[in-house]
Amino acid sequence: MLKTLLGQTAEARAEAWLKKQGLTPVSRNWRCRFGEIDLIMQDGETLVFVEVRLRNHRDFGDGAASVTPAKQKKLLAAARAYLATLKTLPACRFDVVAMRDDSQPDWLRNAFDDMG
C-alpha cells in the first residue's frame, strides 16, 4: 500500500514537472493486457511514453537503470496497444523520469529504442 502511494506521488510529481517543461498530459496509468504506461504526454507533435522510477538510494543504480530490457519490452507492447487505438500514428519516443526524494527529476529523453 505504501509503495503504491509512493509511486502515485512520484508519478504526480513527474507529471507536474513535465508540464512545467512544456509537455501536455494525455493519459496517466494507462493499462492494457501487456502492462501499464505511467504517463503519456504530448511534446509538440511527438507522443511521449514516460516511465517514472522512484529510488530511495543509489546503491542499486538510479531509477533509469531499473528499466531493464524486460521492462522495455513490456512498455513497447503496451505502447503498441495504445497506438492501435489512434486513427493516425504520431511520432513517438520513450522517456524515463527518475525521481529521488525532493530533488529535481532526472529526465532521460529517448531513454530506449522506439517502436523499431
pLDDT at 2: 52
Report the domain count for the chain.
Answer: 1
Task: Kindly state whether residue 18 falls inside one of the protein's structural domains.
Answer: yes
What letter represents residue 49's amino acid?
F
**DSSP H/E element including 2:** helix 2-20
d(CA 93, CA 112): 8
Q: Identify the pLDDT of residue 85.
A: 96
Residue 24 maps to which CATH number?
3.40.1350.10
Cell of 12: 504526480
Q: Where are the beta strands (DSSP E) in the chain?
A: 24-32, 35-43, 46-54, 91-99, 106-108
Q: Report yes or no on 116 lying in a domain.
A: no
> For residue 41, which of 26, 53, 61 has the smallest C-alpha distance?
26
The domain in which residue 95 lies consists of 2-108
Confidence at residue 103, expressed as pLDDT on a 0 to 100 scale = 73
Over the chain (116 residues), the average pLDDT of each successive run of 10 is: 71 94 97 96 97 71 71 95 96 92 83 68
Please check whether residue 113 lies inside any domain of the structure: no
Looking at residue 9, its pLDDT comes to 85
96 falls within a domain? yes
What pLDDT is recorded for position 56?
64
For residue 22, tell me if it sits in a domain.
yes
Nearest to 18 by CA among 104, 101, 112, 90: 104
**SS3 (DSSP) at 107:** strand
